[in-house]
Amino acid sequence: MIARIRNFPPQGWIGLGLILIFWPLNWFGPGARTGLGFFPLWLGYILLMDGLVFLRNRSSLLSRSWWRFILLFLLSIPLWWIFEGLNSRLQNWFYLGRDSFSNLEYALLASLSFSTVIPAVLESAEFAGSFSTISRLRQGPKLDPGRGVEIAVFLGGWLGLALLLLWPQLFFPLVWLSIYFILEPINIWLGNNSLVSWLRKGDWRPIGALFAGVLITAFFWEMWNFYSYPKWIYSIPYADCCHLFEMPLLGYGGYLPFSLEIFAYVQLCSGLLGLDNYIRLLGENN
């Protein structure tokens, strides 16, 4: 144990320090404290998780490439603004305290906060993937969609987006799946890394790592949000009961396909930029 503490990398200690400072400030500070405190709190989470991943794998997102690590923050901003745009139609979540900021202040601070989404999920997924329990998913059912299925899935993604925009009360859950259905076939056709390449071999470990990682992240998102201000609240049709923090329990199910959308989006961007093989969801134990 002492040896592990001594080997804990600097980014992990920095992350822990940021959490210890900004967790209480986000909960108990004055005024609209979370507008400024959200980013450093979540930067702390990301750095702490990166330190834990490095401790287990001797490799992590930051240690493999500091500039690609920063790029994940930049890629995260437009992705979440897409979801914000879709939510302007869905009205599934709202921000209390939005009126504390001008439009420019809100856009800048929101973008800074949104930048933490992708690195937080991917760090957590790499952490989850470092445990041997994920290896049980190595030999699952094989899934080998042909060209026809890939085209059908791609068109189904666009249909899903159309349905949720036309009838948001009925089809709002499709927001967490449609983008993946659009991006995954594109990745396959472009030869980018894709989850299907694993599923063809019956290897479900990357999906297990993503699911476990996003649920870890979701717990901290919702828990830290609960006493923060500004904060988000939900209005989810047919599921507004049995809350864990602000989120209805059924709502946590949406995080699972969301992790697939994140992975597909990052792989598309990485392929276009020639940065494949940066994301490694499986640790040495797997």
Indicate whether 279 belongs to any domain: no
> Is the pLDDT assigned to residue 280 strictly greater than 80?
yes
How confident is the model at residue 1, as a pLDDT?
Answer: 53
Indicate whether 124 belongs to any domain: yes
User: Is the link from the previous residue into 230 a cis peptide, with omega within 30 of 0?
Assistant: yes
Rg of the chain, C-alpha, whole Å: 19
Indicate whether 285 belongs to any domain: no
Number of structural domains in the chain: 1
How confident is the model at residue 3, as a pLDDT?
Answer: 55
Q: What is the pTM of this model?
A: 0.95
> Is the pLDDT assigned to residue 206 strictly greater than 70?
yes
- Rounded to 5°, the CA angle 128-130-135 comes to 90
Q: Give the three-class secondary structure for 234.
A: strand
Cα–Cα distance between 35 and 111 in angstroms, integer?
11
pLDDT digits (tens, 9 = 90+) for 68-120: 999 999 999 999 999 999 999 999 999 999 999 999 999 999 999 999 999 99
Range of the domain at 131: 2-273
pLDDT digits (tens, 9 = 90+) for 17-28: 999 999 999 999
Indicate whether 70 belongs to any domain: yes
Cα–Cα distance between 182 and 192 in angstroms, integer?
14
How confident is the model at residue 2, as a pLDDT?
Answer: 59
What are phi and psi for residue 209, nearest 5 degrees?
-65, -40
How confident is the model at residue 276, as a pLDDT?
Answer: 72
Amino acid making up residue 22: F
- Report residue 286's pLDDT band, with 50, 70 and 90 as the boundaries: low
- Report residue 239's pLDDT band, with 50, 70 and 90 as the boundaries: confident
Cα–Cα distance between 73 and 118 in angstroms, integer?
7
Indicate whether 52 belongs to any domain: yes
Indicate whether 283 belongs to any domain: no
Indicate whether 228 belongs to any domain: yes
Indicate whether 280 belongs to any domain: no
